Amino acid sequence: MKTTKVIILSCLCLTPLAGFSAEIDAFSKRFEPLEDSLIKVNQLTNRLLQESLDEANDKRDGCDQKHLYKSLRKRFNNQYQGQLAKEIINSDEYAKIKIPSKESIYQDFKWYEAIVQGGTSRISDPIADQMKINGILVGTDKFEHFMGSGYRYFNKFRLEQNTVEEALKIGWKAETGILGAVTTGVMSYADLTANFNGMRFWNHIELKFDDVLGAEYNQGPYVACVDEEWVTTENKIDWANYIDKAFDEGINCSRFKNESLANKVAARLEKLESQDKLGRKYHCPMEPQAIDKLKVKYGQLSPFLINSIGHNPLGVDSFDSLYPAP
């Protein structure tokens, strides 16, 4: 059995699986002081936007959309293909909270229950760091969800002109499948929210369509075509317009592959609560009052973005059973 375990873990660590399956512990060091990185991340994002336009304009073929988005995708993508996510994740310039798997709320997961959290964590730690953006605690993995999966949503919904339902299914299948609960044991609603808001961001680049949440949520356009060249507009990208408390996994609660894993997390939260000298409560959601506001914001799409129940095991509810009838 030990030999089999080593072989399985070694093989998995040589695949992209472990890298793409980062999870967040939004509880163990939740109340530690942390510098807000909003200004720095905004500066980085707008600088990379300008670099993207400069590169696209180097082609000297007018305002070609193909070259525009190709240049943008070099910088705005997942941590392996995009400069923004890679720099945020790897740079010490941004204040972060680090929690190793062996000290996290997932430390009791066994490899045969969740191969990534319980297995590959012994070799390559899958726990992402946390940052504070506009006062909100978010995992560094949310930037690649936002830019990478967000573009896939945008492509499906706006460019290919499918329904928003088809776009949302991309993330739902990932979070309940091999890139989510199947291997990590965790289904993250905060990841789904990051994906969705990334779709909104990509739409705001040129703002050819009103925001999916309604015209009152429109941002941008961030770029325009002037004299056959791409230029930035007066509208600057501000992450405060996208990141809300639904990005915080301590508020927008995750679900777990089964009841056993949910119980293990619950036990760890009880221990944190018993050790807190200030008597603070550790349960999800940490701010129950925030859930109602988020549900109002996301409207009929809330069932796919907001977990209003709290930590619980995945049940039999499917995507189609949650999607509102037209």
Q: Domain limits at 26? A: 16-249
Residue 263 lies in a domain: no
In a domain, 138, yes or no: yes
- pLDDT tens-place string over residues 45-69: 999 999 999 999 998 889 999 999 9
Whether 248 shows a pLDDT value over 70: the answer reads yes
Residue at 292 is within a domain: no
Question: Mean pLDDT throughout 248-254?
Answer: 98
Question: What's residue 61's pLDDT?
Answer: 83
Long-range contacts of 259-267 (CB under 8 A, 24+ apart): 259/313, 260/113, 261/109, 261/113, 261/114, 261/185, 261/186, 261/313, 262/311, 262/312, 262/313, 264/106, 264/108, 264/109, 265/105, 265/106, 265/311, 266/311, 267/108
Of 16, 326, 1, 2, nearest to 164 (Cα)? 326
- Contact in structure between 117 and 126 (CB atoms under 8 Å): yes
Report the candidate in 245, 248, 264 with the shortest Cα–Cα distance to residue 25: 248
In a domain, 52, yes or no: yes
Give the closest residue to 184 by CA, choosing from 245, 96, 265.
265
Asked, for residue 92, whether it belongs to a domain, the answer is yes
Residue 111, domain member (yes or no): yes
312 found inside a domain: no
Position 316 in a domain: no
Question: Residue 280 corresponds to which tokens in the numbers above?
Answer: 């603070």
Which residues share a beta bridge with 23? 127
Cite the DSSP H helix spans in the chain.
Answer: 2-13, 17-20, 38-57, 65-75, 83-90, 141-144, 150-154, 164-176, 181-184, 189-206, 259-275, 288-298, 319-322
Total domain count, the chain:
1
The arithmetic mean of pLDDT across residues 161-174, rounded, is 96
What is the chain's mean pLDDT, rounded? 91
- Give residue 78's Cα distance to chain centre: 10
**How sure is the predictor about 322, in pLDDT bands with cuts at 50, 70 and 90?**
low
